[in-house]
Amino acid sequence: MAGPIGDLNGKTLLVTGASRGIGAAAAKTAHEAGARVLLHASGPGEAADKAAAAAGGEMIFEDLSRPGAGTRLMAEAVKQAGRLDAVVNNAGIFMPSPIDGSDEGWAEGWAQTMAVNVHAPADICRAAIHHFRDKGGGIVVNVASRAGHRGDGPDHAAYAASKGAVLAMTKTFARAYSGEDILFYAIAPGWVETRMAPQDIENRKNALKDIPLGRVASPEEVAAMILFCASGACPSATGATFDVNGASYVR
């Protein structure tokens, strides 16, 4: 399983949520490292086309909020590729569930967040374990969040809870399956320069005050850490969470 850092020659990766942001950067970086890349997006569009072209890969469309979507996505990826060497669970939503909002809004926010951020990645992990068992091993990189450790604002409790679940799931599967050469890693970014980052001037100033490094991370920085994990360069780090947050939360 171990390989040179950043070398993905001859490997095939699936990257979810790859139409923009971290996912698009991870797909492009993996392609530049020699991998064949299968990209996932919720639906077609200009961003998906651009990401697929940059990564020289094929795009698979699946709405991860729908029951069974993660399992269907993995089945289609395996059908297209024949074999996967690594899976990057990056897709996620950042949906508010205000405490003072309506009961319906609260319930919908939690249900959608858990479906996309927890249930779909869990289904993908399960399918990946079965696939990797048949193929002699593989790697799963789960993109979680700083919020999974320290929490988030009260309107985004569902998001924080979902990312905490992803971290716990990663540790559980690493402990269970690393002996079969099926490795699991988690990445926990803080603010990243994507659509989820604060956009208005005042919120951006407040976010930067909380980051000793003085800036939010770039998608390419997170992609580099994903690539390190997916390369298999350090199997003994299986089960670990890599923080990418500019020292805004140091464990």
Inter-residue contact 205 to 225 (CB < 8 Å): no
Catalytic residue among 159, 177, 185, 249: 159
CA separation for the pair 96, 110 (Å, rounded): 9
Which residue do the tokens 């009260």 mark?
A: 154
Our answer to whether residue 177 is catalytic in this structure is no
Q: Rounded to 5 degrees, what angle do the CA atoms 81, 86, 89 make?
A: 105
CA–CA distance from 3 to each of 22, 50, 211, 228, 232 (Å)? Answer: 23, 30, 33, 10, 5
Q: Where are the alpha helices (DSSP H) in 102-218?
A: 103-114, 120-135, 147-150, 157-177, 201-209
CB count within 10 Å of CB 233 equals: 16
CA separation for the pair 73, 90 (Å, rounded): 13
Q: Name the residues annotated as catalytic.
A: 159
